[in-house]
Structure 1
């Protein structure tokens, strides 16, 4: 029997880039741009940090991931989900939204639900399309494209909003999301493999998820993710409100996080993927984690009144570069810790841990910022990021959680 034509490597990479960017586009507006608007409206850092709860779908997406695996095709799911995101943006463009309204926060939750569900499908597709040797490339695309989408949403769309209104901004968002649908139309999925055997459902499926989460090594990896990301997320959650409080205009923040942040993040994704492949997980994780903590030190200096706007531009460049590198190294470790026979399940669980840690770190950052001020909050987050990075390396040197981690670690 003749095999159906397969996607070329360029088509696969274009598809994955578009899908990961589509996840970050609305999320970028709501996490980078919306805090600026709320801060200008007088919201406290603590109140802004509690918007993290609207990202709940990212933390619990593993609960419906099996349904996406067992029913329909990835192409059909992606078309529906991308279409839903585009339609939601079009609908919002016709509403008279008010900053801080229930309708706006409902929209944030809806976009998070759509994007988190799309992420499950996209991750599964990436596992099937790319072979083991391309794992670093997959992580670079995942982190770089998602970060690009976030910065376009938080930079370009903020710039558009500053010069127009909600309606024009959401129309532009809908147009960008529509572009990402095009590569899905030409997707030709690999044929189903032996993996399509009877799978548990109902309560048995829930128990299976618990079993995967509690199997040897997984709780330890979850704890290491917390150590590596908590301080980073404390600082990251405060950066955009800090820029606003420094008196930067929305247009300046848009340029800083859009044009400059976009370029440095893409460069960081490429370097991070190359570094992870070239020097191994251990060196990549250690170097990028400590470099990220060093970059946060620039924000401490800025909060102490040093350097002026020039230092803020420098900090943006450094943070965009090394922050993406650190994410690539961490995600590669998460793939190493995922059982190949249950890759989608394990990786989705670990990705949910990343989201939970991000939310906790964001809330802690907001509380510390309100209680202590920016400089002490940045300092605490920076120290936690550096110590957490060193601890992760120290622990894995002595207690590799899985045989696959041990093989990739050196």
Structure 2
């Protein structure tokens, strides 16, 4: 579990380097806002990672094994491309800066593919909640590092030096990869790239059945939609309610992050005790009801204590559903095709966060803030309707879940004794 914490840190470290941190650097360099806005496109590889994920199921590097080998490759390349950011000046070389940022996003998305596959393969079913919680905790710690710490350092040195220092932090993840155990694959991996593309789909639909598989895909999109819809507009809501940017930032980056970490930790413990299925039921109810705190705040007006309570409650619920959904996705992946299947399923989950929330502003214009937050509460009902068909309360594991034994090979396997010659 300690290894997963460090690997989660490695996964989260590059995330802000192509978004918030880069935007801050460009802003201080007096780059115009239109250009800064277009730079958001450099993160596109995160949404397309399922395209090259089959490569990581098909091919095994000649060192460290099928999962750790790819993790190490992506980590080393990330160290190099993050460090290369220190060679740029946004005022004179925007094109090369964009190319470098795209490279970071690509190798970061590739690291996510390999680490998601590793985490899934190395854990048995009952460990998935705790494993997901520990991994997400490391991820959030990394986001704080590249968020708060990067800005702190930027006030005292150049952004070039900040990127160079952050690149060196990748060494922590590289060290963890060397000491981590390699998952055991008892079945043969795909024998061709065509198999690596086709078989993950065939396996998924065969295990769950075509109709139930479609219900699973719909469930993945719907499960976190209540939180995603509310979360997409909480910042504009709080600012319009009269809170300052400093107040909102301090609460979200302070107690908000802590509440999310606490939520995933509680989720991990609960999944280990009551199983994935019951956790999915309980957590989505809590998440939906947690949005009532924002509904109450929209009626009461500016109230700092109420605002802090709302942020804590909603972020704690976010941690719960994140832990539960991550464990659910892991349980549905076959170890032969984990990289491809997890990348595809997690892309569906991202759709509700990045695409389906688009009408939020129009909804608010039509019904106002109180009505909007009541709608976000109601959005917890669709996944509850689907749950009996894919994760019944009476079972511990979801229907169609793949077997996960958590069998591993130690990082340094002892050599067998030499045979006695006769």
Compute the RMSD of aligned alpha carbons: 4.1
Indicate the SS of the match to 1:194. coil
Indicate the SS of the match to 2:355. helix
2:7 matches 1:19: yes
1:114-158 deviation digits (Å, cap 9, x = unpaired): 222112221222234323331221221233322332343333334
The equivalent of 2:60 in structure 1 is 71
Cα distance between partner residues in 1 of 2:370 and 2:153 = 30
Matching residue within 188, 196, 217 for 1:196? 188
**Alignment CA distance shift 1:163-1:325 (3 Å):** farther
Is this contact kept in 1: 2:154–2:162, CA < 8 A?
yes
**Alignment CA distance shift 1:247-1:238 (3 Å):** same
Cα distance between partner residues in 2 of 1:243 and 1:163 = 31
Matching residue within 207, 226, 241 for 2:198? 207
**Alignment CA distance shift 1:150-1:213 (3 Å):** farther
**Alignment CA distance shift 1:281-1:187 (3 Å):** closer
Is this contact kept in 2: 1:98–1:104, CA < 8 A?
no
Cα distance between partner residues in 2 of 1:38 and 1:311 = 35
The normalised TM-score by structure 2 is 0.74
Matching residue within 128, 131, 138 for 2:124? 131
The equivalent of 2:411 in structure 1 is none
Is this contact kept in 2: 1:296–1:378, CA < 8 A?
no
The equivalent of 1:248 in structure 2 is 245
Shift of residue 35, structure 1, vs aligned partner: 7.6
Is this contact kept in 2: 1:18–1:180, CA < 8 A?
yes
Matching residue within 221, 224, 229 for 1:226? 221
2:382 matches 1:391: yes
* Further displaced range: 151-160 or 263-272: 151-160
Is this contact kept in 1: 2:290–2:314, CA < 8 A?
yes
Shift of residue 243, structure 1, vs aligned partner: 6.2
Counterparts of residues 6-405 of structure 1 (less than 5 Å): 13-28=1-16, 30=18, 54-69=42-57, 70-72=59-61, 73=65, 74-97=67-90, 106-161=99-154, 165-190=158-183, 193-196=185-188, 199-202=191-194, 204-212=195-203, 216=210, 217-239=212-234, 246-249=243-246, 255-299=250-294, 306-339=301-334, 342-361=337-356, 363-365=358-360, 368=362, 372=365, 376=368, 380=372, 382-383=373-374, 385-398=376-389, 404-405=397-398
Residues matched between the structures, number: 385
**Alignment CA distance shift 1:43-1:300 (3 Å):** farther
The equivalent of 2:418 in structure 1 is none
Shift of residue 32, structure 1, vs aligned partner: 5.7
Is this contact kept in 1: 2:188–2:336, CA < 8 A?
no
**Alignment CA distance shift 1:88-1:282 (3 Å):** same
The equivalent of 1:8 in structure 2 is none
Is this contact kept in 1: 2:87–2:160, CA < 8 A?
yes
Cα distance between partner residues in 1 of 2:111 and 2:95 = 24
Cα distance between partner residues in 2 of 1:103 and 1:384 = 44
Is this contact kept in 2: 1:282–1:393, CA < 8 A?
no
What residue ranges of structure 1 are gaps of 5+ in the alignment? 1-12
Is this contact kept in 2: 1:230–1:360, CA < 8 A?
no
Is this contact kept in 1: 2:216–2:390, CA < 8 A?
no
The equivalent of 1:9 in structure 2 is none
Is this contact kept in 2: 1:335–1:347, CA < 8 A?
yes
What residue ranges of structure 2 are gaps of 5+ in the alignment? 402-422
Cα distance between partner residues in 1 of 2:83 and 2:229 = 33
